[in-house]
Structure 1
Amino acid sequence: MSTTATVVTVIAALMAGFSGYAVLTGARWVLDSLAQLQVPRTWWTRLGLAKSAGAVGLLVGLFVPVIGLLAAIGLILYFTGAVITVIRAHAYPHVAFPLLYMAPVVAALALGFPA
């Protein structure tokens, strides 16, 4: 794995981890968005855990590439679902946010986890 791939993977993990942490700790700006998007409250903890697990998986993937590959795929699916949720809620100005979090994961997958 190249230095670039390592740096991008760490950035992707930090961003996903921060996003998961924000949900799990009840950051008002995140919870308000989830409520506005009509995401059921019973899902919030699981969503935060999924993002956090994906972040950990990306970091583990630096040493065990198959774990990183699976984590990247999982996070891409997660953020794709987030984009769909935003579109379904007609909150179009917010589409950029899940795409922003997905971009470094896609880059990490492209750079460092060969299939």
Structure 2
Amino acid sequence: MFAAHATITIFASLLFGSASIVYLIGHEFPKAQLDMKRLPRSWVPVLGTMLALGSLGLLGGFAIPMLGTLAAYSLVLYFAGALLAHLRVGSRKLGNWALFFATAVAALGANLLYHWW
């Protein structure tokens, strides 16, 4: 079970960490996404920081299990909010969202199964 938990957690951390870098370096993609969702561009560094902290929290969960659980749960909530932002403006382009959300749910599930059951 540890191998599955470690694989999913490391994959999720890399995915969310790379997404946070895209946000924090000022790439146009996140700005365009916020424009499409009619959200202020000033949120770009905040959202990037949240992704970075979630990524680091997942890795920190190897040392402090509760930290990993809270990070994974927070990422699930982050992407639930992203879904609401998509639906609010009528966007049906949810492919990227589904990948990120499924990864966050998998990380949470693996964490809960390994540490708490």
Normalised by the length of structure 2, the TM-score is 0.90
After TM superposition, the structure 1 = structure 2 runs for residues 25-104 of structure 1, keeping only pairs within 5 Å, are: 25-93=25-93, 95-104=94-103
CA contact (8 A) 1:69 1:109 kept: yes
Q: Unmatched 5+ residue regions in structure 1?
A: none
Runs of 4 or more above 2 Å deviation: 112-115
Q: Unmatched 5+ residue regions in structure 2?
A: none
Amino acid at match of 2:72: A
Matches of 1:28 and 1:41 in 2, distance apart?
A: 11
Q: CA RMSD in A?
A: 1.3
Report percent identity of matched pairs: 32
Matches of 1:97 and 1:87 in 2, distance apart?
A: 14
Amino acid at match of 2:95: A
CA contact (8 A) 2:9 2:58 kept: yes
CA contact (8 A) 2:30 2:44 kept: no
Normalised by the length of structure 1, the TM-score is 0.91
Deviations along 1:18-45, one digit per CA (max 9) or x if unpaired, are 1111111111122211211112122111
**Alignment-derived partner of residue 108 in structure 1:** 107
